[in-house]
């Protein structure tokens, strides 16, 4: 499924991409502006990502984590990666979630919220995309 987003055959609210990966909105965000960053090549878990691909891929995760707070007026981010357990899609992805003190995050990743509509999702995606450059 994430391979289809990388290939462009399944639509997503893209926030950025580079030769190593693609970043797009999680459609069931913990907080609005929650981004998933996936490598272009299909690997299932972080440990299975070939070492030569690490700098590019993690570099994109880092750029997204830098862009999200100023783009959305958040104070920081939560960056996370589930491998196998709690990994809902079998294609490596890092979560970058905007955080602000007192935002009420309980546990790690629940409950999830929803975008009001595609326009709202598009607006979150474009704010982060603008900051990513």
Interacting residues toward Zn ion by CB under 5 A? 2-3, 42, 91
Q: Between 53 and 103, name the residue whose CB sits nearer to Zn ion.
A: 53
Residue 96 · residue 37 · CB < 8 Å: yes
Instruction: Please state the closest distance from residue 97 (CB atom) to Zn ion, in A.
Output: 22
- Give the residues across from 99 on adjacent strands: 76
Residue 2 · residue 68 · CB < 8 Å: no
Residue 30 · residue 97 · CB < 8 Å: yes
Instruction: Please state the closest distance from residue 57 (CB atom) to Zn ion, in A.
Output: 14
Q: Between 24 and 31, name the residue whose CB sits nearer to Zn ion.
A: 24
Q: Between 44 and 72, name the residue whose CB sits nearer to Zn ion.
A: 44
Instruction: Please state the closest distance from residue 20 (CB atom) to Zn ion, in A.
Output: 14
């Amino acid at each position: 499924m994430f391979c289809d987003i990388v290939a462009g055959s399944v639509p997503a609210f893209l926030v950025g991409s580079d030769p190593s990966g693609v970043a797009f909105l999680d459609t069931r965000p913990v907080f609005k502006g929650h981004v998933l960053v996936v490598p272009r090549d299909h690997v299932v878990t972080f440990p299975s990502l070939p070492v030569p691909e690490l700098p590019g891929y993690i570099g994109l995760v880092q750029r997204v984590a830098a862009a999200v707070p100023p783009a959305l007026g958040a104070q920081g981010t939560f960056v996370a990666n589930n491998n196998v357990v709690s990994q809902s899609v079998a294609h490596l992805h890092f979560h970058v979630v905007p955080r602000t003190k007192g935002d009420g995050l309980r546990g790690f990743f629940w409950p999830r919220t929803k975008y009001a509509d595609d326009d709202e999702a598009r607006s979150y995606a474009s704010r982060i995309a603008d900051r990513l450059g």
